[in-house]
Amino acid sequence: MKRLARSGGGSRPRAVSLLPAVIALGSVAALGATLSCSKDAPDKPSPAASTSVASPAAASAAPASSAAKAAGASDTAWSGSYVAKVGPVAPPENAKEKTWASDPGTAAVGQGAIALSISGARGETQGDLTGPLGDLKVAGVFDGTELRANLLPKDPQADSAMTGFMLLAASGGPPPGTLKGTLRVSNRDARIVREASVDLAKK
């Protein structure tokens, strides 16, 4: 009984005396990790910081590009003529449609005039068409190679009002010196269809 008491009593102080050492070692390791992290942090900028530096440069590039494009754009005036003739219509054979076959081809034919203005970086096109096809407004876009425009009657209620489109191709240059192509229109009930060759030159 005495031996057991002495051996048990002798082991407890040693176990208790090791606990403060373990705690102290853990505290030192944690402190070392904290100091290491705080030392490395300033050397590596965060993604947010690098993004905020690059953003102003990217933002300033877009306005500069737009300004350069606008500075290169200039207004130009074009004028010329068209020659209108009967426009071919080919309905299905089984339709047996004779509406266009009965067109005598005497109305809305002959030579007329076109005047256009092309402006802005987008090539916005406005103008007028006069002559046998009536008084039409021209509204479209010129991309530097092709001009596409709608043709709308200035008086939509007129019996002879025509509506259609125009497609012209640029040639010469750059910048181009001529615009050539065709237009196609029809009257309010589409019984009269006309085509015309168009030839425009820069003023």
Q: What is the pLDDT of residue 174?
A: 84
pLDDT tens-digit series, residues 82-99 = 999 999 888 787 777 777
Cα(first)–Cα(last) distance of the chain, in Å? 127
Ranges under pLDDT 50 in the chain:
1-42, 44-73
How big is the CA angle at 107 (ends 101 and 111), to the nearest 5 degrees?
120
Cα-flanking dihedrals φ and ψ of residue 187, to 5°? -85, -175
Helix (H, G, I), strand (E, B) or coil at 73: coil
Q: What is the pLDDT of residue 94?
A: 78
Q: What is the pLDDT of residue 100?
A: 81
Q: What is the pLDDT of residue 73?
A: 45
- In sequence order, which residues have a C-beta less than 8 Å from that of residue 82 and are 6 or more positions away? 111, 112, 113, 114, 129, 131, 133, 183, 196, 197, 198, 199
| Residue from 130, 128, 88 nearest 110 by CA | 130
pTM of the model: 0.62
Q: What is the pLDDT of residue 74?
A: 63
